[in-house]
Amino acid sequence: MDDIYRKALDELHDVLVAVDKAQIATALDTIAGARRIALYGVGREGLQMKGFAMRLFHLGLDAHVVGDMTAPHIGEGDLLIVSAGPGDFSTVSALIGVARSAGAKSLCVTAEPEGAAPRVADAKLVVPAQTMARDTTAPSSVLPMGSLYEGALYVLFEMLILQLRERLAVDAGQMRSRHTNLE
């Protein structure tokens, strides 16, 4: 098992160091400047987006998960962050269109920069990892299906939170004070 652990961790490392620093900077600027943030993803990508929404909330940002009953209307000054690892999902592209029509900006996190969703988003953050889009034609990961992409999202999002925390001058105690006490 040690060999598999090492291989998986090495793969995650290789993906994360390959993420474009300029795209990270754009994502940070876009998130920090948003009035309200809505996040969306499907399947396991969606779970990572929910975790990211939670951390953005802990920072004190007005962050919501699309589909939750409390997700507000978005418009001018707002941001929709979506994940489309394989490059597109019909719901992701539809939501980008809704955001654009409402005057909101969109940021698409993806492994496939030429996919339909990242091409129409206002900004993209490319995470160059295997997803289900390529797991049968060009498998490159020891992890199954899209797990490399999903695992990289988790670590990348936590690193973005650390950078936003510093930029927004939020300390760990402030973040903790926003954590639910209903567990």
Q: Is 158 among the catalytic positions? A: no
Amino acid 106 reads S
Tokens of 131: 């997803």
Burial class (CB in 10 A: 0-12, 13-18, 19+), 107: buried
C-alpha distance from residue 7 to each of 31, 122, 141 (Å): 32, 35, 9
Residue of 45, 150, 166, 183 marked active site: 150
Phi/psi-derived region of residue 60, left when phi > 0, alpha when psi is between -120 and 50, beta in every other case: left
Phi/psi-derived region of residue 169, left when phi > 0, alpha when psi is between -120 and 50, beta in every other case: left
Which ranges of the chain does DSSP label H, i.e. alpha helix? 2-18, 21-32, 43-58, 90-102, 116-120, 147-167, 172-177
Q: What are the phi and psi torsion angles at 121 (to 5°)?
A: -70, 155
Quickly tell me which residue has 């299906």 as its tokens: 145
Catalytic site positions: 150
